[in-house]
Amino acid sequence: MNCKLPVLISTIAAFLFSESFYAQEASKYDYVEAFKPFFYPQTGTETRSASGQPGHAYWQNSADYHLNVTLNEDKKEIAGTAEITYKNNSPDKLGFLWLQLDQNLFAKDSRGNGVVPLSGSRNGAHGEDFNGGYNIKSVKVDGKVVKYTITDTRMQIDLQKELKDKGGVAKISIEYSFVSPEYGSDRMGVQDTKNGAIFTIAQWYPRMCVYDDITGWNTLPYIGASEFFLEYGNITANITVPASHYVVASGELLNEKEVYSKEEISRWNQARGSDKTVMIHPESEIGKNVATGTKTWKFRINQARDFSWASSKAFILDAAKINLPSGKKSLAISAYPVESAGDKAWGRSTEYTKAAIEHYSGKWYEYTYPAATNVAGNEGGMEYPGIVFCHMDSKGEDLWGVTDHEFGHNWFPMIVGSNERLFAWMDEGFNTFINALSTKAFNNGEYYTKENLAMSGSLLMSDNLEPIMVGPDNMRERNIGALAYYKPGTGMAVLREAVLGPEKFDKAFKTYIDRWAFKHPTPWDFFHTMENVSGEELNWFWRGWFINKWKIDQAVKNVKYINGDFKNGAQITVQNLEQMPMPTTVEVKFKDGTTKVIKIPVEVWKRNTEWTFKVDSSKEIDQVKLDPNSVVPDINMKNNIWSASTAKQVDKINAKDFIGTYADPKSNLKILFKEKNGQLYGAAADGSMEFPFEYNGDNTFYFDKGNMTIVFSKDKKSITLKEGGKEFKFNKE
C-alpha cells in the first residue's frame, strides 16, 4: 500500500507527536523488542528443516548394547562386560570415540563432588564416605586392546584406524566393576527393608556419547543436576543375582520359565490378559522356598536410549495388562517391599502405571515398550526406558503424582530424545505439562485440582530466577524445580489455553512428537514445528518465556461510559505494563448478572502499550476482569480487576453540546470538536488527525494517549487545554 503524508501537517499533529507525548508513557513495555525479527539463529539445513522437521539428509548414530553383569549383594558391587556395536551414520570419519562413565560421579575427586556446597545437595552420594566410580579392567575395539583416556565422567578411546563415515561400525568391549552408592544422586541406590535390600541400578555401564550435527561430540561432564543425552539402539542384558532375588528391568523378560516358579508363571500369564492387578509374587510368599546360588535374568529392549534394573529378595510383584490404541498390549508391573504394600499405597501402583501409559498413548503417541515397571526404592523419582524408581514411602496422591510423572518421561525424553544435559525443560517441562492433563483424566479426576496459573506469576517471573534456557548445571539448585519443571510446564499450558487454543496446540505438539520420535530435537526444532503447524508467529513467546525472563503484567487502566451514560456503551482501556506481551481476555460482568468476553489478539501489542476498545451495550457494568479463567501468570493481580463499587461516578452529557471550533489567537492554532457515535472527537481545523476524548465529569475531557486534558467553561464559549504541565486558552469561534 502506498501511503503519503499530507503536504501541510497541522500544528495540532506536531503538538501531539512532540517529545512530551511520549514522555507520559508509564508502561515498561517495548513492543519493538518483543516482536523484533530474526529470532532464529539460522535457516534450514540439510539435516534440520526450517519447518521444524528432520531434514532430507538427517542422520543419527546408533549404539547397540549386549550387557552381562553380576550383583554381589554383600559388597554392593556390580561387575560385568559391556559389548557395544557403534554405528557411525554421520558424514564424518571418526578418529576417536567418546563414552560416558557417569558412575564416576561418585569418585571422591569427581567434579560432581567438587561442586557440592557445604550445605549439601540432592546430587552426589549425600555424604556417604566411599570411593565410588568405575574400575575399568580392559577396553577393546574390534577385538584389539586400545588406548583410552578417562577424564572425570568421560572416556576417550583412540582408534587405531578411523571409523568410516556413513555406516562404519566399531565393536567395543569394556570389562568393568563398581560399588553402588547407597544414595546415588537420587537416581539409583540401595534401600534396606526388613526382608532385604532393594538395589535400584542405573548409570551402570559405559554408554556412548552422542555425536550429532549440532556440536559433534556431546561431552559435557555429569556433575549431578543435569541428566542424560544418549544414542538409541537395541539392548540385551543378562543379569546374574542371588537366587533369592527377583529382578525387574527395562524391556521384556525373556526367560520367565527359568526364573519363576510354575505358580508365578501362571499368574504372570494371567496378568497379561487382566485389566485388574494380579499378584505374581505376593507378600505371603516372601522368604519361602528360597533357592541358593545365583540366577540369571535375561531382558531385551529395542529402540531404547538406556537400560536400568532393580533386584531384591524383598519384592512383592504384581502386574496387569496395558491396552494400547493399536490393539497391542503391554504389561504394567510393580515391585515393592511389604512396608509399601496396601491399597492406600503401592497396592495401587500398577493401576496408576496402567492408567498413565494408556492416557499418554491415546493422547500423544503410542507406548513402544513391552512392559512398564514401577519400583519402590529410595529415589524421590527417576525415569528410564520402560522402568521408573519411586520412593517406597509414597502413597495416595503423592504416589499417583510421582508414578504419572516418571512414566510421562517415557515420552520425554525416552521417545523424543532431547538433550537433557543442556535443556532440562524439554523433558521435565513438557512432562510436567502433560502430567496435568493426565491427572485430570485419571479416575474422573480423583486427584485433580484445577490450578490457578494466574497466581503463579510472582514465583515464575521472580528476579531471583535464571532464564529457562540456561542448563541445569548453570542455575542455582534451588531454582531447578521452577526453571526445569514448573515454568516451562506452565508455559506450555499458557500456550495451549491462552495463545493457540487446545485444538491447534495439540495438533502441533503431536506433530512434534511424531517428527522427533527416537531422534534428537533441539529447542529450535520444537519452536519451528509449533509455529509451522499452528500457523502462528510465536517468537515473542519463545523470546520472553524461555530465552529471557520477561514478566507479564496486564492491567485494566480505566472503564468509562461514553459521555457518562451506560446506555451509550463503554470504553475500556487495558495496558501491557511489563515486557512480555500476551493475548488479552477481558470479561465484562454487567449488573444484571450477564457477562461478555472480549478477546484482544496479541497483535495489538505489536505497536501499542495500551489499548482502548468499545463495548456495545446499554447495561451498567459491575466488574471488568482480565484473564477470567486464570490461565495467564501475572505479577500483579490487583490491577486485573475494575469494580463499579470503587469507581468514580461521572455525570451524563450530550457530546453534541460541546461541538465547535476553538482558536488560540496567539498561535493561530485551532481545534475542531465534533461528535461521532455519541463521543466527542478533537481534530485539526481541516478535520485531519482525529483523536477521541473521554469524559471525566465536570465538563472535563481527557485524551489518554496524549495525556491531554480539555476543560470547557460552563457556557462552553472557551476551553483550557492542559498538557505537560502547561495551559493554553482557546475561544469558540
Residue-wise pLDDT tens digits, 439-481: 999 999 999 999 899 999 999 999 999 999 999 999 999 999 9
- Backbone φ, ψ for residue 210 (5° rounding): -80, 135
Point out which residues pair with 676 in neighbouring strands: 679
Do 531 and 472 belong to one domain?
Answer: yes
Q: What pLDDT, on the 0 to 100 scale, is given for residue 22?
A: 38
Averaged pLDDT for residues 142-148: 97
- Rounded Cα distance between 597 and 587, Å, is 4
Q: What pLDDT, on the 0 to 100 scale, is given for residue 123?
A: 86
List the grid coordinates of 465: 530466577
In contact, 539 and 627? CB cutoff 8 Å = no
User: Before 413, cis peptide (omega within 30)?
Assistant: yes
> 20 or 272, which is more confident?
272
Domain assignment present for 11: no
Q: Model confidence over 312-345: pLDDT tens digits?
A: 999 999 999 999 999 999 999 999 999 999 999 9
pLDDT confidence tier of residue 73, bands split at 50, 70 and 90 = very high
List the grid coordinates of 626: 482480565
Q: Model confidence over 219-273: pLDDT tens digits?
A: 999 999 999 999 999 999 999 999 999 999 999 999 999 999 999 999 999 999 9
Do 538 and 577 belong to one domain?
Answer: no
List the grid coordinates of 186: 537420587
Strands 371-377, 387-391: pairing kind: parallel
Give the CA diameter of the chain: 112
Which amino acid is it at 348? R
Averaged pLDDT for residues 190-214: 98
| CATH number of 535's domain | 1.10.390.10
- Rounded Cα distance between 465 and 548, Å, is 11
Q: How many helices (H) and strands (E) does the chain have?
A: 15, 41
Strands (E), 196-249: 198-201, 207-208, 211-212, 216-217, 233-242, 246-249
Of 684, 686, 683, 670, nearest to 731 by C-alpha is 670
- Backbone φ, ψ for residue 244 (5° rounding): -75, -10
- Backbone φ, ψ for residue 387 (5° rounding): -150, 145
Mean pLDDT of the chain: 93
Could you give the C-alpha distances from 548 to 536, 539, 580, in angstroms and in order?
A: 20, 12, 10
Point out which residues pair with 590 in neighbouring strands: 621
- Rounded Cα distance between 102 and 77, Å, is 16
Could you give the C-alpha distances from 350 to 400, 402, 507, 677, in angstroms and in order?
A: 10, 13, 30, 66
Q: What pLDDT, on the 0 to 100 scale, is given for residue 17?
A: 43
Do 111 and 260 belong to one domain?
Answer: yes
Strands (E), 115-205: 135-141, 144-145, 148-151, 154-163, 168-179, 183-184, 188-191, 198-201
Domain assignment present for 14: no
Q: Which of 621, 646, 671 is the last residue of a domain?
A: 646
Domain assignment present for 563: yes
Domain hosting 28: range is 24-58+416-550
Q: What pLDDT, on the 0 to 100 scale, is given for residue 117?
A: 85
- Rounded Cα distance between 64 and 303, Å, is 9
Neighbour tally for 261: CB within 10 Å: 13
Could you give the C-alpha distances from 5 to 310, 585, 683, 689, 692, in angstroms and in order?
A: 76, 35, 16, 12, 21
Q: What percent of the chain has pLDDT over 70?
A: 96
Domain assignment present for 241: yes
In contact, 402 and 380? CB cutoff 8 Å = yes
Residue 146 has pLDDT above 50, yes or no: yes
Q: Which of 606, 629, 646 is the last residue of a domain?
A: 646
- Give the three-state DSSP class for 147: coil
pLDDT confidence tier of residue 703, bands split at 50, 70 and 90 = confident
Q: What pLDDT, on the 0 to 100 scale, is given for residue 24?
A: 40
Do 196 and 308 belong to one domain?
Answer: yes
Range with the lowest mean pLDDT among 118-127, 481-490, 501-510? Answer: 118-127
3-class SS letters over 563-610:
HHCHHHCEEEEEEECCCCCCCEEEEEEECCCCEEEEEECHHHHHCCCE
Most confident of 19-28, 122-131, 627-636: 627-636
Q: Which of 535, 550, 565 is the last residue of a domain?
A: 550
Of 31, 38, 16, 21, nearest to 607 by C-alpha is 31
Of 20, 175, 52, 147, nearest to 522 by C-alpha is 52
Do 545 and 602 belong to one domain?
Answer: no
- Backbone φ, ψ for residue 341 (5° rounding): -75, 165
Domain assignment present for 2: no
Neighbour tally for 473: CB within 10 Å: 21
In contact, 332 and 353? CB cutoff 8 Å = yes
Residue 656 has pLDDT above 60, yes or no: yes
pLDDT confidence tier of residue 122, bands split at 50, 70 and 90 = confident
Residue 307 DSSP label = -
Q: What pLDDT, on the 0 to 100 scale, is given for residue 120?
A: 81
Do 522 and 544 belong to one domain?
Answer: yes
- Rounded Cα distance between 409 and 46, Å, is 29
Do 540 and 579 belong to one domain?
Answer: no
Domain assignment present for 181: yes
List the grid coordinates of 467: 532464564
Q: How many distinct structural domains can be found in the chain?
A: 4
Do 540 and 428 belong to one domain?
Answer: yes
Which amino acid is it at 346? W
- Rounded Cα distance between 644 and 689, Å, is 33
Compute the residue count for the chain: 733
Domain assignment present for 221: no
Do 443 and 576 belong to one domain?
Answer: no
List the grid coordinates of 516: 522427533
Q: What pLDDT, on the 0 to 100 scale, is given for residue 234?
A: 98
Strands 62-72, 233-242: pairing kind: parallel
In contact, 584 and 604? CB cutoff 8 Å = yes
Residue 399 has pLDDT above 70, yes or no: yes
The pTM assigned to this predicted structure is 0.90
Residue 10 has pLDDT above 60, yes or no: no
Do 440 and 562 belong to one domain?
Answer: no
Do 256 and 274 belong to one domain?
Answer: yes
Which amino acid is it at 107? A
Averaged pLDDT for residues 431-441: 98
Which amino acid is it at 147? K
| CATH number of 585's domain | 2.60.40
pLDDT confidence tier of residue 702, bands split at 50, 70 and 90 = confident
Q: What pLDDT, on the 0 to 100 scale, is given for residue 21?
A: 42
| CATH number of 335's domain | 2.60.40.1730
Averaged pLDDT for residues 62-87: 98
**Block residue for cell numbers 525424553:** 413
Which helix or strand (DSSP H or E) is residue 334 part of?
strand 329-336
Do 393 and 520 belong to one domain?
Answer: no
Q: What pLDDT, on the 0 to 100 scale, is given for residue 9?
A: 32
- Rounded Cα distance between 228 and 690, Å, is 61
Half-sphere exposure of 121 (CA within 13 A, CB side): 20
- Give the three-state DSSP class for 130: coil
- Rounded Cα distance between 217 and 576, Å, is 44
Domain assignment present for 189: yes
| CATH number of 659's domain | 2.40.128.50
How many angstroms from the chain centroid is the CA of residue 506? 14
